[in-house]
A and B are shown apart, each in its own frame.
Chain A
């Protein structure tokens, strides 16, 4: 199935609700043609508001601009915007069969019955719902409903596909397998898509790029790996994984180093003056005490199956959490050595935002 793909340009787009609350601060965002972009953030961060503005289900404040591939759609209602939308609850029409749900958009456009049937057949193959065409939504599993919702949304050949928490209604185990399936489907459709989620794993697995949002603003946009490794903002670092906070006392700042349990490592040049730096638990190396490594004591060991989590007491630092291999021998009370590669340090301050 070949779909049109267009870039999306959002400029100065804001939303103030009738009661005066600001759902979205003025926002700029560019989505490339055929790209899958995730809007990621905690609830109330404005991600759903932004999605609904792009869909045309909400009208933005004056001065906002939303452009689909050169066409300004800001004033167009959702009916005429050419978007396909997958709702969190899927919103399948309960009285219609799977085939009737998928064909709905074509039917109301007056497409001939034979053509509708052909298109529905193609979509049923695409989302692998063969044999379920005459079932009603109530008779389907959560994963099947999600695929019907996706097929229904793309049946009308939208220019932009919008997904509002498409996996939130599923249980954890199913979520993981459907996540990859959805990612695969979106790649095969090769359509410009915006995907709203509060689940960072889901965003990393499905999207090409993530836009991390907080309090009505986009904090940072970038490839998932880049955001995870080099967040420009501590919120991004914390939201995309877990972090430890390292402290630097004035002496260490003056010398341009980070002190860790008696050892010193150079502080990256850009953050020389920062009193705090962040580091991820998996970036702390733990071994037997040895020269040049920091000294620490194991306070607690938690076996998590695929890895072991150690709580480490280090002089002059808050309690550090380190994720190490599952065969690590260290137990509470053991003295260990620890080391952090300076490249793995992350900023704890907003970069001139």
Chain B
């Protein structure tokens, strides 16, 4: 296939290569900056793992918290979002349609505004304000629409309606058919939604930056802090840590999701 296209479309190939290089260059530079002794003198100054060590010392905790927060966010959006998606998919009322629109609002509204509203409403609850739960709530508000949209479109399929009726005709009560039939049938959609929520939560900055305290920092917030207050080499090394930690996790999850979707494939 490559032989056919490359011979006939040199222009497309050139564009692809140029765009790819343009996009990869900053990543490569950033990675390099985190591994050299002095960014201004470049590779000549020699390679080092010193900066990585410093990042781990200063910001190591943010990695674990970010991952934990993302997992909690996935659990939260599944518990809240799947029943909500079902209710929205089955309701034909106007109220449900309006609610669906409102649900996507946090995606459109700048994260800063959402965060400010949360602080205004719950900022006085000190224990809550100073815990990771506060950030978790922000993340759930922001990611919930992605879970609900993905899963409710799966619930709306005609074959799901028929499956539910079949289960009813066999005597299954609501709990039995929801947990035993419907959730397994939309499981691939739940997995896809979870993956999206996890990814969004790990990278979320706007909201988190407003909601964090010096003791509750996530990886992106720590990244911003290091860029602002540390040497450029440390900031770059931090980016490298981000890649090293997040990419394998995302790949692993993606692989798992594909596996599950294949097994459940209809």
A interface with B by C-beta (< 8 Å): 55, 57, 77-80, 83-85, 87-89, 91-95, 104-105, 108-109, 138, 152-153, 156
Decide if B185 touches A95 in the complex (CB within 8 Å).
yes
Which residues on the A side are within 8 Å of B176 (C-beta)?
Answer: 108
Contact of B169 among A83, A88, A94 (CB under 8 A): A83
B64 close to A (CB within 8 Å):
no
Nearest CB of chain B from residue A171's CB, rounded to whole Å = 20
Decide if B159 touches A89 in the complex (CB within 8 Å).
yes
Taking CB atoms and an 8 Å cut-off, the chain B residues in 152-170 that contact chain A are 158-159, 162-163, 165-170
Contact of A91 among B163, B173, B187, B265 (CB under 8 A): B163
Cα–Cα, bound, A77→B163 (Å): 16
Decide if B171 touches A105 in the complex (CB within 8 Å).
yes
Which residues on the A side are within 8 Å of B163 (C-beta)?
Answer: 91, 93
B90 close to A (CB within 8 Å):
no
B184 close to A (CB within 8 Å):
yes
A94-B266, A105-B171 known; A85+B166 contact, CB < 8 A: yes
Decide if A84 touches B180 in the complex (CB within 8 Å).
no
B72 close to A (CB within 8 Å):
no
Decide if B170 touches A95 in the complex (CB within 8 Å).
no
Which residues on the A side are within 8 Å of B162 (C-beta)?
Answer: 87-89, 91
Contact of B171 among A55, A89, A92, A156 (CB under 8 A): A156
A94-B264, A95-B184 known; A87+B165 contact, CB < 8 A: yes
Which residues on the B side are within 8 Å of A138 (C-beta)?
Answer: 265-266
B75 close to A (CB within 8 Å):
no
Nearest CB of chain B from residue A58's CB, rounded to whole Å = 11
Nearest CB of chain B from residue A106's CB, rounded to whole Å = 9
Nearest CB of chain A from residue B95's CB, rounded to whole Å = 16
A108-B176, A108-B180 known; A91+B170 contact, CB < 8 A: no
Nearest CB of chain B from residue A169's CB, rounded to whole Å = 12
B interface with A by C-beta (< 8 Å): 158-159, 162-163, 165-173, 176, 180-181, 184-185, 187, 264-266
Decide if B264 touches A104 in the complex (CB within 8 Å).
no
For the complex with contacts A57-B165, A156-B171, 8 further pairs of A-B residues with Cβ separation under 8 Å are A77-B168, A79-B172, A79-B173, A84-B169, A93-B184, A95-B184, A108-B170, A153-B170
Cα–Cα, bound, A341→B181 (Å): 59
Which residues on the B side are within 8 Å of A77 (C-beta)?
Answer: 168
CB closest chain-B residue, reference A82: B171
Decide if A104 touches B170 in the complex (CB within 8 Å).
yes
Nearest CB of chain A from residue B177's CB, rounded to whole Å = 9
Which residues on the A side are within 8 Å of B165 (C-beta)?
Answer: 57, 78, 85, 87, 91
Decide if B180 touches A153 in the complex (CB within 8 Å).
no
Which residues on the B side are within 8 Å of A87 (C-beta)?
Answer: 162, 165-166
Decide if A55 touches B169 in the complex (CB within 8 Å).
yes
Decide if A79 touches B181 in the complex (CB within 8 Å).
no
Decide if A91 touches B266 in the complex (CB within 8 Å).
no
Which residues on the B side are within 8 Å of A105 (C-beta)?
Answer: 170-172
Contact of B264 among A80, A89, A95 (CB under 8 A): A95
CB closest chain-A residue, reference B168: A78
Which residues on the A side are within 8 Å of B171 (C-beta)?
Answer: 79-80, 105, 108-109, 156
The listed residue with most B CB atoms (<10 A of its CB), out of A91, A93, A153, is A91
Which residues on the B side are within 8 Å of A92 (C-beta)?
Answer: 166
Cα–Cα, bound, A85→B167 (Å): 10
Cα–Cα, bound, A307→B171 (Å): 50
Q: List 16 contacting pairs A-B, 8 Å CB cutoff, sorted by A.
A: A78-B168, A78-B169, A84-B170, A87-B162, A89-B159, A89-B162, A93-B166, A94-B185, A95-B185, A95-B264, A104-B172, A105-B170, A105-B171, A108-B172, A138-B266, A153-B170
Which residues on the B side are within 8 Å of A152 (C-beta)?
Answer: 166, 170
Nearest CB of chain B from residue A275's CB, rounded to whole Å = 47
CB closest chain-A residue, reference B265: A138
Cα–Cα, bound, A55→B170 (Å): 11
Decide if B166 touches A91 in the complex (CB within 8 Å).
yes
Nearest CB of chain A from residue B180's CB, rounded to whole Å = 7
Which residues on the B side are within 8 Å of A88 (C-beta)?
Answer: 162
Decide if B167 touches A104 in the complex (CB within 8 Å).
yes
Which residues on the A side are within 8 Å of B265 (C-beta)?
Answer: 138
Nearest CB of chain A from residue B186's CB, rounded to whole Å = 11
Decide if B180 touches A91 in the complex (CB within 8 Å).
no
Which residues on the A side are within 8 Å of B184 (C-beta)?
Answer: 93, 95
Decide if B172 touches A91 in the complex (CB within 8 Å).
no
Nearest CB of chain A from residue B212's CB, rounded to whole Å = 41
Cα–Cα, bound, A132→B169 (Å): 24
Nearest CB of chain B from residue A99's CB, rounded to whole Å = 15
Cα–Cα, bound, A95→B167 (Å): 14
Decide if A57 touches B170 in the complex (CB within 8 Å).
no
The listed residue with most B CB atoms (<10 A of its CB), out of A55, A87, A152, is A87
